[in-house]
């Protein structure tokens, strides 16, 4: 994204959100590593995958913070672009690694029937297409290439809708097979996925200058993606933990 001058407050809002994201990912990492031991053995791999997701994201947020501070310098009370571009690729590489892992977590904790392997493969392919198609739009110039941003955004939405549809229907089918307590958690997870994943394309749209103007969109995109990532990775991981715990309790596999 092209750089614009930011006020002190705009610069530090993003800086503090990125810092919050680093802290959340690291805290979540510790929680999932320790939490792994208090669920039944069958569900531990799901927790291991959760901890990988937040570890990868914690690293990326750390690098994003570095890139953010390198991209702006304080001059006469304003943050002006230094000429070093802010690197959007960290986010997209992060998604490329973590979205397949998030989908895997879900399949692992659900312990779905045999054909779940091929469903997972299709979901992962669709996720890669979604992210790869969104990237050229994200790095296009939001002023002079607004059309490109829109076109890549629309293309990326096609696999995105496929993913949401498959997850919604699959999870819906599986809910009935679970004990009542687990059913509530699964229903909530279904909404959490819909809400958090649905937030990403909205944030992407805020990145077009037509909506919020230059500095406004730069800030909205960074703050928006950070909130979305903390929710879709850390909070979602806590939901996966809760499902694993409730299922272990129901099938009597909770460790003594
Ligand atoms: C893009 C481009 C615009 C259109 C759409 C997008 C969707 C992105 C999504 C990302 C999800 C990321 C997650 C990360 C957590 O680790 C690429 C912004 C539809 C849904 C869940």
Q: What is the pLDDT of residues 147-156, one digit of tens each?
A: 999 999 999 9
Beta carbon of 51 within 6 Å of any ligand 1 atom: no
Q: State in Å: Cα 200 to ligand 1 middle.
A: 5
Name the residue at shortest CA distance from atom 17 of ligand 1. 134
Q: Which CATH architecture has domain 6-251?
A: Up-down Bundle (1.20)
Residue 18 alpha carbon to ligand 1 centre in Å:
18
C-alpha span between 86 and 70 (Å, rounded): 8
pLDDT digits (tens, 9 = 90+) for 59-93: 999 999 999 999 999 999 999 999 999 999 999 99
* Mean per-residue pLDDT, 39-58: 96
The confidence band for 146, taking pLDDT boundaries of 50, 70 and 90, is: confident
Q: What is the pTM of this model?
A: 0.94
Average pLDDT for 181-186: 91
Burial 203-224 (b: 16+ CB within 10 A, else e): bbbbbbbeebebbebbbbbbbb
Distance 160 CA to ligand 1 centre (A): 8
């Amino acid at each position: 994204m092209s750089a614009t001058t930011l006020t002190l407050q705009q610069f530090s809002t993003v800086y503090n959100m990125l810092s919050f994201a680093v802290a959340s990912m690291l805290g979540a990492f510790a929680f999932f590593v320790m939490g792994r031991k208090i669920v039944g053995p069958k569900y531990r791999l799901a927790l291991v995958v959760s901890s990988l997701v937040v570890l990868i994201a914690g690293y990326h947020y750390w690098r994003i913070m570095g890139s953010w501070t390198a991209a702006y310098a304080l001059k006469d009370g304003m943050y002006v672009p230094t000429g070093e571009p802010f690197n959007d690729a960290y986010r997209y590489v992060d998604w490329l690694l973590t979205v397949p892992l998030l989908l895997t977590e879900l399949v692992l904790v659900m312990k779905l029937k045999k054909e779940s392997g091929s469903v997972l493969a299709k979901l992962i392919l669709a996720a890669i297409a979604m992210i790869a198609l969104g990237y050229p739009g994200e790095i296009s110039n939001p002023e002079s290439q607004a059309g490109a941003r829109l076109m890549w955004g629309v293309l990326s939405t096609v696999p995105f809708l496929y993913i949401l549809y498959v997850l919604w229907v699959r999870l819906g089918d599986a809910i009935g097979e679970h004990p009542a307590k687990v059913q509530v958690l699964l229903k909530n997870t279904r909404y959490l996925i819909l809400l958090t994943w649905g937030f990403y394309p909205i944030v992407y749209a805020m990145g077009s200058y037509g909506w919020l103007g230059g500095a406004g969109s730069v800030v909205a995109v960074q703050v928006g993606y950070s909130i979305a990532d903390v929710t879709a990775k850390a909070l979602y991981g806590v939901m996966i933990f809760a499902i694993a715990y409730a299922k272990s309790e129901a099938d009597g596999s909770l460790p003594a």
